[in-house]
Structure 1
């Protein structure tokens, strides 16, 4: 399930604006999605012009885009750290402390995305205005071990959510993540306390990762038709 919306021009501006932050010699985390794809292509053009970077992709999609753009790739176990992560979001909500809470996982890559985004010294979200909300109310993707699906679904209901197994669009059956797991899209309605919900979901046996990114983002770059707003800097 993806939160579609926003113009392609707004997404392009946000992605390219974030790509301009990358400096020579840095290790960059590459997220997944249509807006991040613009950042990856822009980074590839910078590499072609002489920028020296290494990138850590978070999905098959971002890896393939990086390979197509001839961006050198690496992995978390081969570097000392991640300087900057660029990633999209299905929804973004501002926090009272100046940070941001996100719902991610529309591309079912949120487990690997969270690992890389949390490891980065600076995590930048790229989005269009349609992704800004208050409060978060998008169904939370929860990646579960296949055998745990029934018990996790029941536990989600006990937490006040309505789980729905994500099905594939072009084949019969469910979506299977790159980790070999299933995704439950869990609708909680308006989420007034993302931190508490994230803790509850993460504690469920059989859950690999859930799509609430609480307080991880340092900046949000919101693209418009003719400019980019930078929030949180």
Structure 2
């Protein structure tokens, strides 16, 4: 299967987990978009919480009823893509610059399912540059503190401001994204805690102990993976 066919397969498989009456978290990115399209085809009686303006626009186009996160007590199921899936379903997310809203929705969910093509499965996190969301004010100073934090964790990466069309990428919340090409992350939990302690950091793309299961494309179809 091509990469796009793999994304479609896991997106449609994840849609089978949804039933009428549920509150569903809608992830962001090319793989999550297949899940949203599959939901649109099924015409279920659900309410959905989008993790980005792009996902919200797609859901509206497909006539999926949307609701604000603050309007629900909990989300029954969230399905979202991942940039890397490591041991124990540790994840790197944030390639779509929606990591903060994604993490808020994941934290509010009873069940979280990561979906991905086969190439996203890795033995060690870090080959995909780790996204770190920072406030725009004083971001150059924050970047220097991030370098120190990475060094503390034995990672020699220099975070780079994410740019597009000659301008810094802005999240839906107006923040900036720095990407750290870690190469390998020896201790994801230590790095996660260290990054969160840096003044100016809003959040990071390490999703640890959040995924309950994953659907990953495999030669025989779709593999169901548990932590």
TM-score, structure 2 as length reference = 0.93
The answer for the alignment partner of 2:193 in structure 1 is 199
Q: 2:174 aligns with which of 165, 177, 180?
A: 180
1:190-233 deviation line (CA, Å, top 9, x unaligned)? 11211110111111111111110011001110124651001008
Secondary structure in 1 matching 2:137: helix
Unaligned runs of 5+ in 2: 152-156
Distance 2:85 2:179 in 1: 17
Q: 2:130 aligns with which of 120, 123, 140?
A: 140
Q: Is the 8 A contact 1:56 1:73 kept in 2?
A: yes
The answer for the alignment partner of 1:3 in structure 2 is none
Q: Does 1:157 align with 2:153?
A: no
Q: Does 1:24 align with 2:20?
A: yes
Measure how far apart 1:189 and its partner are: 2.1
Q: How does 1:87-126 map to 2 (within 5 A)?
A: 87-95=80-88, 100-126=89-115
The answer for the alignment partner of 1:208 in structure 2 is 202
The answer for the alignment partner of 2:118 in structure 1 is 129
Distance 1:200 1:212 in 2: 12
Q: Does 1:78 align with 2:68?
A: no
Secondary structure in 1 matching 2:6: helix
**Between 171-180 and 106-115, the greater mean CA deviation after superposition:** 171-180
Q: Number of residue pairs matched?
A: 219
Distance 1:13 1:93 in 2: 20
Q: Does 1:11 align with 2:7?
A: yes
Q: 2:163 aligns with which of 167, 179, 185?
A: 167
Distance 2:193 2:55 in 1: 28
1:172-201 deviation line (CA, Å, top 9, x unaligned)? 211111111111001222112111101111
Distance 2:212 2:27 in 1: 15
Distance 2:104 2:136 in 1: 21
Measure how far apart 1:107 and its partner are: 0.6
What's the C-alpha RMSD, in Å, of the aligned pairs?
1.3
